[in-house]
Structure 1
Amino acid sequence: MSTEAPKRDQWQWENATAGAAAGFATVAVMHPLDVVRTRFQVNDGRVSHLPIYKNTAHAVFAIARSEGLRGLYAGFLPGVLGSTISWGLYFFFYDRAKQRYARNREEKLSPGLHLASAAEAGALVSFFTNPVWLVKTRLQLQTPLHQTRPYSGVYDAFRTIMREEGFSALYRGIVPGLFLVSHGAIQFTAYEELRKVIVDFKSKGSTVHNQNPDKLLNSVDYAVLGATSKLAAVLLTYPFQVIRARLQQRPSGDGVPRYMDTLHVVKETARFEGIRGFYKGITANLLKNAPASSITFIVYENVLKLLKPARRND
């Protein structure tokens, strides 16, 4: 009886495990910049409960001074939970899609199929994780100036949102979230294609023919690949992040959301802030995501290397 199916399933779970570990490591290191980015994104100049920050450095020091470490790590638990689940599911669904599109293990997928695999994985992950990202955003936006009773934690946030706004509120921002699937698609396509270039380049200089590509790459290569692919994705998709963050803000005391839907955000932002409004917080975002993506792929690729020998020994 063939053992192909069990091996394939195990390989997929190895990708999920490596992805989850990568997600946790990324959030743990870079979360304060995520808080800064979120506060810049939603500050349209007409929100009274948010402090005014001059730049990223000023924001970090101001939050640390007025709110302490708790302020810098506001929303950390849903951030860790969401990122760990997201990366785990993303790599899992992404690998499954690639295997389904490939005719055999030796055939290389085209850029179009890498794009389709990443988009499919991103859409599935969006539906699983949108409620977690909503809670994270709201916790990050709680400041000493906040008028409404603050959420005491993740559980209280979920319970209060369900009671005051209903289940549908957990999916506020899902539309730009689905558009953000293109972010992962662009990132993973760029990563895969750049990875091929580096592997081909190193293969030509290698004295060992038919060497395993994994042995040709090191942590520096993974860091460069992760940062470069992330930069391309951020520049192209950042406005969707701003739109989603603004939609996910907590309603004011009268229960009316600041923005009603995606189109309302686009119209209001364009009207009062212009194109710059769609890129608010991008400095903090790049400072967070370029090194964060490097960390993610370093951890992911190295965890995967550790798990592969275990699979071969089974």
Structure 2
Amino acid sequence: MSKGSERLKDEGSKKQVILAGGIAGLVSRFCIAPLDVVKIRLQLQTHSLSDPLPHTGTNGPIYRGTLSTLKAILRQEGITGLWKGNIPAELLYVCYGGIQFTTYRSVTQLQSGLPRRLPPSVESFISGASAGAVATAATYPLDLLRTRFAAQGNEKVYTSLIASIRDIARHEGPRGFFQGLGASVGQIVPYMGFFFASYESLRLLLGSLELPLGSGDATAGILASTLSKTGVFPLDLARKRLQVQGPTRTRYIPRNIPEYRGVFHTLQTVMEKEGFRGMYRGLTVSLVKAAPASAVTMWTYERALQFLMRREIIE
């Protein structure tokens, strides 16, 4: 394996990797929070995209694209509406970033000790998929809370983070915190595997071009994220629909979210009632969000790790 590919995986102590990953997640989340809220609102909207009168049978605001959704949220809920769910989301991204990069580093080092090395792209896929699965499962309750807060309009379903935890525990039990986990893991394993595999390859290629301000890392993150996100998007939509199931399902925006029973039932129902295009509702804003999020994450991670190493902070 080339030195350029080894650098991301092997430099820095374990504590430095955790801190750099957490910083990257924190900065990335704050930057893309409004687009995340827009994405969730679009994914939960259930009217058929082919319906000439999409408002028929829909109780709640009608969103018709990224910009119109942004304007509608600003008009109806104010600027703070674009950062709904930001507290659990910030906790999610910090924890997720630290766990993701730590697992990626650990699995990569474990593979390097095997008597027979796998091809670099395969090693990157395994490390990325493992990192995504572990980080997703460990932080999933925060992901669910983020979705529910982002989905509530002016009517407060939950008044605070603590209140939401108590309410879900009381009325839905421990399983309530893991609604849609199957779809999430099913999505994140191929997504992160392909993301890291393509990121490593693109990073080496772009690194030779010596782009200014370290933009090669950011560009590689954008391209890798776009390719990976498109392939697994229907599972992401299923995850969002499942996360708002439960006794509060009819109180979100929109209010007519159907009742789904598992990943396959969700995908089947969406295909039957909303068509193939319905499976990709919110894809545009998802790609718009994912590209800068990945670029900011990888760029911040690289710079934060280098800073920690230069200053010899927390060896």
Normalised-by-shorter TM-score class: 0.7 to 0.9
State the match for 2:270 in structure 1.
269
**CA pair 253-23 structure 1, distance change in 2 beyond 3 A:** closer
SS at 2:216's partner residue?
A: helix
Deviation at 1:14, TM superposition (A): 1.4
CA deviation string 1:89-124 (max 9, x = no partner):
1001101111111149xx896111111111111111
1:162-181: CA deviations, max 9, x gaps? 11111111111110111122
* Residue 138 (structure 2) pairs with residue 137 (structure 1): no
Q: Which residue type is aligned with residue 279 of structure 1?
A: Y
Alignment correspondent of 1:151: 158
- How far is 1:155 from its partner? 1.1
The answer for the alignment partner of 1:44 in structure 2 is 46
- Report which stretch shifted further, 64-73 or 303-312: 303-312
Q: Counterparts of 1:211-230 in structure 2 under 5 Å?
A: 218-230=213-225
1:127 equivalent to 2:137? Answer yes
Distance in 2 of aligned mates of 1:62 and 1:124: 36
Partner residue in 2 for 1:27:
29
Q: Does 1:234 align with 2:229?
A: yes
Which has the greater radius of gyration? Answer: 1
Q: For the Cα contact (< 8 Å) 1:50–1:143, is it kept in 2? A: no
- For the residues of structure 1 that align with 2:75 and 2:177, how far apart are their CA atoms? 32
- Identify the residue that residue 19 of structure 2 maps to in structure 1: 17
TM-score by length of 2: 0.84
Taking the aligned partners of 1:151 and 1:313, their CA distance within structure 2 comes to: 38
Which residue is 2:52 aligned to?
none
Structure 2 gap ranges (5+): 1-9, 48-55, 251-256
Does 2:63 correspond to 1:62? no
Counterpart in the other structure of 2:299: 298
Equivalent position amino acid for 1:173 in 2: G
Q: Which position in structure 2 is the counterpart of 1:172?
A: 179
* Cα separation, partners in 2 of 1:182 and 1:227, compared to 1, 3 Å: same
Question: In the TM superposition, what are the counterparts of 1:69-88 in structure 2 within 5 Å?
Answer: 69-88=79-98
CA contact (8 A) 1:252 1:258 kept: no
Shift of 1:251: 2.9
Counterpart Cα distance in 2 of 1:312 and 1:60: 41
Q: Is the 8 A contact 2:15 2:314 kept in 1?
A: no
Tell me what 2:169 maps to. 162
Measured in 2, the distance between the counterparts of 1:118 and 1:72 equals 30
Alignment of 1:187-206 (within 5 A): 187-199=195-207, 201-202=208-209
Pairs aligned (count): 289
Question: What displacement does 1:196 show?
Answer: 2.1
Distance 1:116 1:172, change over 3 A: same
| Residues 197 and 22 of structure 1, relative CA distance in 2, 3 Å threshold | same
Structure 1: distance between partners of 2:219 and 2:282: 23
User: d(CA) in 2 for partners of 1:272 and 1:312?
Assistant: 55
With 89-98 and 303-312 compared, the bigger mean Cα shift is at: 303-312
Contact 1:242 1:279 in 2 (8 A): yes
- The one-letter code sitting in structure 1 at the alignment partner of 2:76 is S
Shift of 1:51: 1.4
Distance across 2 between alignment mates of 1:259 and 1:20: 34
Identity value in percent = 28
TM-score (norm 1): 0.85
**In structure 1, what residue type is equivalent to 2:100?**
Y
> CA distance change for structure 1 residues 49 and 89 in 2, over 3 Å: closer, same or farther?
farther
Preserved CA contact (<8 Å) 2:180 2:243: yes
Query: Aligned partners of 2:238, 2:314: CA distance in 1, in Å?
Result: 48
Cα 1:150–1:228 shift into 2, 3 Å? same
CA change 1:253–1:176 in 2 (3 A) is closer
Indicate if the aligned counterparts of 2:141 and 2:178 stay in contact, CA closer than 8 A.
yes
Residue 126 of structure 2: aligned partner? 116
1:143 partner SS: coil
Once the two structures are superposed, residues 45-98 of structure 1 have per-residue CA deviations (whole angstroms, 9 ceiling, x without a partner) of 288554111111010011011101221111000111101111111001101111
> What is the letter of the counterpart of residue 234 of structure 1?
K
Q: Which moved more, 1:20-29 or 1:39-48?
A: 39-48
Distance 2:263 2:118 in 1: 38
Paired with 2:248 and 2:230, the residues of 1 have a C-alpha distance of 35
Q: What SS does the corresponding residue of 2:84 show, helix, strand or coil?
A: coil
Q: Is the Cα contact below 8 Å between 1:175 and 1:262 reproduced in 2?
A: yes
